[in-house]
Amino acid sequence: MIQIQGVETILFVHDQEVSMRFYRNLMRKEPILHVPGMTEFELCFQHKLGLMPNEGIHKIIGEQWPNPASGRGIPRCELYLIVGDVQLEFENALQVGATLISPVLQRDWGDIVCYFADPDGHVIAFAEKATESF
Protein backbone atom coordinates (compact mmCIF):
# COMPACT_ATOMS: atom_id res chain seq x y z
CA MET A 1 0.00 0.00 0.00
CA ILE A 2 1.38 3.40 -0.98
CA GLN A 3 1.48 5.85 1.92
CA ILE A 4 2.18 9.05 -0.06
CA GLN A 5 0.18 11.93 1.36
CA GLY A 6 1.64 14.80 -0.63
CA VAL A 7 4.41 15.75 -3.02
CA GLU A 8 7.15 18.35 -2.78
CA THR A 9 9.35 18.92 -5.79
CA ILE A 10 12.64 20.51 -4.71
CA LEU A 11 14.79 22.39 -7.20
CA PHE A 12 18.45 22.93 -6.41
CA VAL A 13 19.25 26.57 -7.11
CA HIS A 14 22.33 28.77 -7.33
CA ASP A 15 20.84 31.76 -5.47
CA GLN A 16 17.87 31.11 -3.19
CA GLU A 17 16.84 34.79 -3.03
CA VAL A 18 16.90 35.26 -6.82
CA SER A 19 14.91 32.05 -7.30
CA MET A 20 12.44 32.96 -4.55
CA ARG A 21 11.70 36.31 -6.21
CA PHE A 22 11.44 34.68 -9.64
CA TYR A 23 8.95 32.01 -8.50
CA ARG A 24 7.02 34.48 -6.31
CA ASN A 25 6.46 36.63 -9.40
CA LEU A 26 5.88 33.69 -11.73
CA MET A 27 3.33 32.02 -9.42
CA ARG A 28 1.92 35.34 -8.22
CA LYS A 29 1.97 34.15 -4.62
CA GLU A 30 4.12 34.42 -1.53
CA PRO A 31 6.13 31.46 -0.28
CA ILE A 32 4.68 29.54 2.66
CA LEU A 33 8.21 29.06 4.02
CA HIS A 34 11.30 31.15 3.42
CA VAL A 35 14.26 30.47 5.69
CA PRO A 36 17.98 30.12 4.99
CA GLY A 37 18.33 26.85 3.09
CA MET A 38 14.71 26.36 1.95
CA THR A 39 11.86 28.21 0.31
CA GLU A 40 8.49 26.54 -0.29
CA PHE A 41 5.49 27.49 -2.38
CA GLU A 42 2.17 25.69 -2.21
CA LEU A 43 1.26 25.06 -5.85
CA CYS A 44 -1.99 23.20 -5.32
CA PHE A 45 -3.53 20.79 -2.84
CA GLN A 46 -0.82 18.50 -1.46
CA HIS A 47 1.89 19.68 -3.87
CA LYS A 48 4.67 22.08 -2.94
CA LEU A 49 7.62 23.51 -4.82
CA GLY A 50 10.81 23.80 -2.80
CA LEU A 51 13.94 25.81 -3.59
CA MET A 52 17.14 24.61 -1.94
CA PRO A 53 20.55 26.16 -2.51
CA ASN A 54 23.07 23.91 -4.25
CA GLU A 55 25.40 24.06 -1.27
CA GLY A 56 22.60 22.85 1.04
CA ILE A 57 21.95 19.68 -0.89
CA HIS A 58 25.68 19.18 -1.47
CA LYS A 59 26.16 19.02 2.33
CA ILE A 60 23.47 16.32 2.50
CA ILE A 61 24.66 14.14 -0.39
CA GLY A 62 28.36 14.61 0.32
CA GLU A 63 31.26 13.93 -1.99
CA GLN A 64 30.00 10.58 -3.33
CA TRP A 65 27.62 12.40 -5.69
CA PRO A 66 28.38 15.24 -8.14
CA ASN A 67 27.83 18.72 -6.79
CA PRO A 68 24.52 19.99 -8.23
CA ALA A 69 26.18 23.36 -8.89
CA SER A 70 28.12 21.72 -11.71
CA GLY A 71 24.84 21.24 -13.59
CA ARG A 72 23.78 24.90 -13.51
CA GLY A 73 22.15 25.92 -16.77
CA ILE A 74 21.76 22.31 -17.88
CA PRO A 75 18.09 21.23 -17.99
CA ARG A 76 17.74 18.69 -15.19
CA CYS A 77 14.01 18.59 -14.62
CA GLU A 78 10.73 19.90 -15.93
CA LEU A 79 7.89 21.40 -13.92
CA TYR A 80 4.78 20.57 -15.96
CA LEU A 81 2.09 22.83 -14.56
CA ILE A 82 -1.48 22.31 -15.72
CA VAL A 83 -3.29 25.64 -15.77
CA GLY A 84 -6.67 27.04 -16.73
CA ASP A 85 -5.38 29.73 -19.11
CA VAL A 86 -2.06 28.97 -20.79
CA GLN A 87 -1.97 32.32 -22.63
CA LEU A 88 -2.26 34.23 -19.35
CA GLU A 89 0.63 32.24 -17.87
CA PHE A 90 2.69 32.68 -21.05
CA GLU A 91 2.32 36.47 -20.89
CA ASN A 92 3.07 36.56 -17.15
CA ALA A 93 6.20 34.42 -17.58
CA LEU A 94 7.47 36.81 -20.23
CA GLN A 95 6.77 39.79 -17.97
CA VAL A 96 8.66 38.33 -14.99
CA GLY A 97 11.74 37.54 -17.06
CA ALA A 98 11.48 33.80 -17.64
CA THR A 99 13.57 32.65 -20.60
CA LEU A 100 11.33 31.56 -23.46
CA ILE A 101 12.07 28.07 -24.79
CA SER A 102 8.95 27.48 -26.88
CA PRO A 103 5.77 29.52 -27.47
CA VAL A 104 2.22 28.34 -26.88
CA LEU A 105 1.54 25.44 -29.24
CA GLN A 106 -0.84 22.53 -29.39
CA ARG A 107 1.28 19.44 -28.84
CA ASP A 108 0.77 16.02 -30.36
CA TRP A 109 -0.22 14.57 -26.95
CA GLY A 110 -3.23 16.92 -26.91
CA ASP A 111 -2.17 19.67 -24.50
CA ILE A 112 -1.58 23.31 -25.41
CA VAL A 113 1.83 24.08 -23.88
CA CYS A 114 4.55 26.72 -23.67
CA TYR A 115 8.02 26.22 -22.21
CA PHE A 116 10.31 28.53 -20.26
CA ALA A 117 13.50 28.27 -18.21
CA ASP A 118 14.07 29.67 -14.73
CA PRO A 119 17.30 31.42 -13.66
CA ASP A 120 18.99 28.03 -13.10
CA GLY A 121 17.88 26.50 -16.39
CA HIS A 122 15.11 24.33 -14.95
CA VAL A 123 12.38 23.87 -17.54
CA ILE A 124 8.87 25.11 -16.72
CA ALA A 125 5.91 24.10 -18.86
CA PHE A 126 2.48 25.71 -18.63
CA ALA A 127 -0.09 23.34 -20.08
CA GLU A 128 -3.77 23.66 -20.79
CA LYS A 129 -5.89 20.69 -21.69
CA ALA A 130 -7.12 21.10 -25.28
CA THR A 131 -10.87 21.13 -25.74
CA GLU A 132 -10.52 19.04 -28.86
CA SER A 133 -7.74 16.75 -29.97
CA PHE A 134 -6.31 16.69 -33.43
User: Dihedral of CA 78/49/9/39: which sign?
Assistant: positive
Domain boundaries in the chain?
Answer: 7-129
Helices (H), 2-85: 16-27, 54-61
7-129: CATH topology is 2,3-Dihydroxybiphenyl 1,2-Dioxygenase; domain 1 (3.10.180)
> What is this structure's pTM?
0.88
Give the contacts of 43 (CB within 8 A, at least 6 positions apart). Answer: 27, 49, 81
Which three-class secondary structure state does DSSP give residue 75?
A: coil
Of the candidates 121, 9, 31, the residue with the CA atom closest to the CA atom of residue 69: 121
**3-29 tens-digit pLDDT:** 988 999 999 999 999 999 999 999 999
**80-104 tens-digit pLDDT:** 999 999 999 999 999 999 999 999 9
